[in-house]
Amino acid sequence: MESIGRSVIRKDAVAKVTGAAKYTADLKTVGSLYAKLVTSPYGHARILSIDTSAAEKVNGVHKILTGKDTNILTGEEIKDRPILATDRVRYHGEPVAVVIADTLAIAKQAANLVNVSYSPLPVIRSPKEAYQQGVPLVHEHLGDYEKIAEVFPKPGTNICNHTKIRKGSMEIGWAKSTVVVETEVSFPPSDHCAMETRSVSAEILPNGQVIIHSSSQVPFTIKKMLSSIFGLNQGKITVHTPLVGGAYGGKSAIQLEFIAYLASSAIGGQKVQLINSREEDFITSPVHLGLDAKVKLGCDAEGYLQAAEITLLFDGGAYSDKAVDMSRAAATDCTGPYQVENLWCDSFCMYTNHPYATSFRGFGHPESTFAVERAIERLAEKLGMDPIEFRWKNAIRPGQTTPTQVILNESRIGNVRRCIERVRELINWEEGRRIEITPERIRAKGVSCFWKNSNIDTNAGSGAILKFNEDGTVHLNCGVIEIGTGSRTVLAQIAAQKLGIDVDQIYVEMDIDTSSTPEHYKTVASRGLWMAGRAVLAAAEDAIGQLLNVAAQVFRVSLDDLDIGKGFVFLKDNPARKLALKELVYGYVYPNGNAIGSQVIGRGSYTLRGMTFLDPKTGKGVPGPDWTVGAQAVEVEWNKRDYTYKILRAVTVIDAGTIINPKLAQGQVKGAMHMGLSFASREGFIFGPNEVVETTQFRTYKVLRYGENPDYTVDFVVTPSRETAYGLRGIGEHALIGMPAALANSLSTAAEVHLNRLPLTPELIWRMKTGGVR
């Protein structure tokens, strides 16, 4: 039975509809203690004193830790973040102390009694402000921090990373441009809002073994970071990650793990659980970054792009975490999937007094795409060309080069033009972009394209083990986290296809244990199937080699004479001579009892090849193995009278390469569209005085609810990748990328006003349209 191209039911489906599915906070153990954080009520303040004496007197409190107990700086790229704040808090919600107690109720009661006195400091309220000369510095000692070589902070400023992209000649580009536009866009930080809040536990066994449970996308990185920060041997650390209740990049940061580890070690190793409340999950743990950007584009009279000058100022918040990487990733793909010969881009990650940012689905791309696609829309308008035609004309193709000067081929870039053509049909573009249904109600459409490469470590990799049972069934063991995407089911399909057995014969546990599971770099960047798919294929080939070896001895033939399929190893020229896998998987036993071969354990691993660091002066380099591309459209109905609107339809056409599991692929695409529309239409933190976040609950921070969603249309273009298992491409993030731009383009068309800010609330449209005067 073919496993590729079939909508195999998710392996975790039954557990998830019966309540049997276990997430980190569901794993209860007797004797665990509970931790509760004390967090900063200010966006920026000096800590004058911390008095824990009243809290310590509460019955059942074991220990209270503050910054002076944990004086260590952390950070994957720049070590700029204390585990608990020491002399100063830099964002609202920053952890200041942690109380460890018998029960959560006691811990909370005591946390309320910890008396911290603060003296508020001036705040940095936006990346634009952070960039000004003479403003307060969020990190005065930026130059002293330890950092990796590939980030470029500027001591004495609020710049925590600067990426430069220089391609072609701007002089020539502007000289060739007959039409030029300049667009500025802006939006505040927002949040991932996974339904499962981040949750960890830590325990140190008497032999020194550290056991962490974490709701995470990066258990292997947790192991490495604990090891490097606390000087522990990696073999002494085991990280468990069960099912994860949504992540979207937000669970790729390491934060609570450090606190829980220190809490446990402060009380002799007893198990400590630390679970974010929703309010903490919104701001204490990292968020989705904001952006202020400026885009200047020029094209010739025929509508070919000639020059682009792009400045991205990302709001990375108070600490660098992954925002510094996102600002680089955004720069590498800053033009969108268009051919631009002459390009100049400065991408800055700025420190502000906002909650700090980490990876978010799309990794810098939805943000920069919003900026560039709004500019493209204006350029087409100014030129007087249909905006879809303009995009089609400029769509990047094999043979052309990316902003970082990678020369494209079909496998690397897929088919952008085909995606645009298909979106045009599906959204019924011919009918007209703006239709007045009644004098009050306007129906309008907008489009956007997207592309994205991975921008992860140049040596990222993945491993897999296929372990046979005696009856021929197989356990697949690999390190991709089940965060909701269904990747572990798809990997089973890949293994089944290669081994020539039914996918039902393959069993996949959903828990990761870093001590026994082969490492998968991180479950991020839509590289789960990309890398682990290759590892699984290699493991299957390894297992097949072992099976054929035994069978060749039994049949006294050479390996080339044999093939595998339908659960048998057989002779190619006489398939009737065959051995069932179960006769081979534990070695073959001859009638007299002699045995040959042994248990079949297939192993495989894979590491990305050909990636390079970027040249710091020009950005030249290979940021990832391939781009997933596509085009999107949104149709809205806008009400002229009260400025409200309904999102009627959203369309995505994505070049997804070979589709392994159509239903899962559609689910990923629709889910990403949904998240993009929710973000663009209503999300974003509202800040009060001293940059205190006023929206830390779902009643004030609005997300799209059931019934508010549009009709989704998803279609696939298939340009198989030459590098992946069966030609698949990564698709987990991409359909989010163009949604904010497509929505803004449709509403700008409807309201006949330039909407360059997010979220696109009726109030914003009213303000832009009327200047905010009734």
486 binds ligand FES (CB under 6 A): no
Closer residue to another protein, CB minimum distance, 258 or 282: 282
Packing angle of the helix pair 528-555, 487-499 (nearest 10 deg): 30
Q: Least distance in Å: CB of 427 to another protein?
A: 17
Please state, in angstroms and rounded to a whole number, the distance separating the CA atoms of residues 580 and 572.
Answer: 15
Figure out which of the listed residues 3, 8, 11, 25 binds another protein, where binding follows CB under 8 A.
Answer: 25
Q: Least distance in Å: CB of 483 to ligand FES?
A: 9
Contacts of ligand FES in 579-598 (CB under 6 A):
none
Among ligand FES, another protein, none, residue 397 binds (CB under 5-8 Å by kind): none
Among another protein, ligand FES, none, residue 670 binds (CB under 5-8 Å by kind): another protein
**CA distances to 217, 339, 410, 419, 655 from 400, in Å:** 35, 7, 11, 18, 18
Q: Least distance in Å: CB of 195 to ligand FES?
A: 4
Q: Least distance in Å: CB of 489 to another protein?
A: 11
Q: Are strands 305-317 and 290-299 parallel, antiparallel or unpaired?
A: antiparallel
Contacts of ligand FES in 190-219 (CB under 6 A):
195
SS3 sequence of 620-643: CCCCCCCCEEEEEEEEEEEECCCC
709 binds another protein (CB under 8 A): yes
DSSP string for 8-77? PPPTTHHHHHHT---BGGG---TT-EEEEEEE-SSSSEEEEEEE-HHHHTSTTEEEEEEGGG---EE-SS
CA angle in degrees (0–180, nearest 5) for 84-695-704: 120
Maximum distance among all Cα pairs of the chain, rounded to whole angstroms: 96
682 binds another protein (CB under 8 A): no
Region of 772 on the Ramachandran plot (φ > 0 left; ψ -120 to 50 alpha; else beta)? left
Q: Least distance in Å: CB of 29 to another protein?
A: 11
Cβ neighbours, 10 Å, residue 724: 23
Among ligand FES, another protein, none, residue 230 binds (CB under 5-8 Å by kind): none
149 Cβ contact partners less than 8 Å away, ≥ 6 residues apart: 613
Among another protein, ligand FES, none, residue 47 binds (CB under 5-8 Å by kind): none
Q: Least distance in Å: CB of 278 to ligand FES?
A: 8
SS3 sequence of 516-546: CCCCECCCCCCCHHHHHHHHHHHHHHHHHHH
14 binds another protein (CB under 8 A): yes
196 binds another protein (CB under 8 A): yes
Contacts of another protein in 107-126 (CB under 8 A):
109
Closer residue to ligand FES, CB minimum distance, 630 or 671: 671
Figure out which of the listed residues 6, 41, 56, 60 binds another protein, where binding follows CB under 8 A.
Answer: 60
Among another protein, ligand FES, none, residue 19 binds (CB under 5-8 Å by kind): another protein
Question: What's the one-letter identity of residue 252?
Answer: S
Among ligand FES, another protein, none, residue 21 binds (CB under 5-8 Å by kind): another protein
Among another protein, ligand FES, none, residue 16 binds (CB under 5-8 Å by kind): another protein
Q: Is the dihedral of CA 335, 329, 691, 112 positive or negative?
A: positive
484 binds ligand FES (CB under 6 A): yes
244 binds another protein (CB under 8 A): yes
Total residues contacting ligand FES by CB under 6 A comes to: 3
Contacts of another protein in 476-515 (CB under 8 A):
483-486
Phi, psi of 557 (to 5 degrees): -130, 175
Q: Which two tokens stand for residue 305?
A: 């792009």
Question: What's the one-letter identity of residue 745?
Answer: N
Closer residue to ligand FES, CB minimum distance, 242 or 246: 246
Figure out which of the listed residues 37, 100, 123, 194 binds another protein, where binding follows CB under 8 A.
Answer: 194
Please state, in angstroms and rounded to a whole number, the distance separating the CA atoms of residues 570 and 574.
Answer: 7
Q: Least distance in Å: CB of 245 to ligand FES?
A: 6
Q: Extract the runs of DSSP E, i.e. beta strands, from 417-555.
A: 434-436, 441-452, 461-468, 474-478, 506-508, 512-513
71 Cβ contact partners less than 8 Å away, ≥ 6 residues apart: 82, 86
**CA distances to 139, 140, 143, 162, 317 from 155, in Å:** 8, 8, 5, 12, 16
Q: Is the dihedral of CA 54, 55, 60, 62 positive or negative?
A: negative
Please state, in angstroms and rounded to a whole number, the distance separating the CA atoms of residues 195 and 62.
Answer: 30
Q: Least distance in Å: CB of 419 to another protein?
A: 20
Figure out which of the listed residues 572, 698, 752, 763 binds another protein, where binding follows CB under 8 A.
Answer: 698
Closer residue to another protein, CB minimum distance, 414 or 484: 484
Contacts of another protein in 646-675 (CB under 8 A):
663-664, 666-667, 670-671, 673-675
Q: Contact, 739 vs 680, CB < 8 A?
A: yes
Please state, in angstroms and rounded to a whole number, the distance separating the CA atoms of residues 12 and 30.
Answer: 27
Region of 388 on the Ramachandran plot (φ > 0 left; ψ -120 to 50 alpha; else beta)? alpha
Figure out which of the listed residues 82, 153, 173, 246 binds ligand FES, where binding follows CB under 6 A.
Answer: 246
Q: Least distance in Å: CB of 56 to another protein?
A: 16
- The b/e string for 28-47 (b: 16+ C-beta within 10 A; e otherwise) is eeeeebbbbbbbbbbbbbeb
Total residues contacting another protein by CB under 8 A comes to: 62
Nearest by Cα to 387 from 629, 681, 745: 745
Q: Which residue is nearest to ligand FES (CB)?
A: 195
Figure out which of the listed residues 697, 752, 770, 772 binds another protein, where binding follows CB under 8 A.
Answer: 697
Among ligand FES, another protein, none, residue 99 binds (CB under 5-8 Å by kind): none
243 binds another protein (CB under 8 A): yes
Q: Least distance in Å: CB of 14 to ligand FES?
A: 15
Q: Least distance in Å: CB of 675 to another protein?
A: 7
User: Footprint of another protein on this chain (CB under 8 A)?
Assistant: 7, 9-10, 12-23, 25-26, 28, 59-60, 105-106, 109, 192-197, 243-248, 277-278, 483-486, 663-664, 666-667, 670-671, 673-675, 697-699, 703-709, 711-712
User: Footprint of ligand FES on this chain (CB under 6 A)?
Assistant: 195, 246, 484
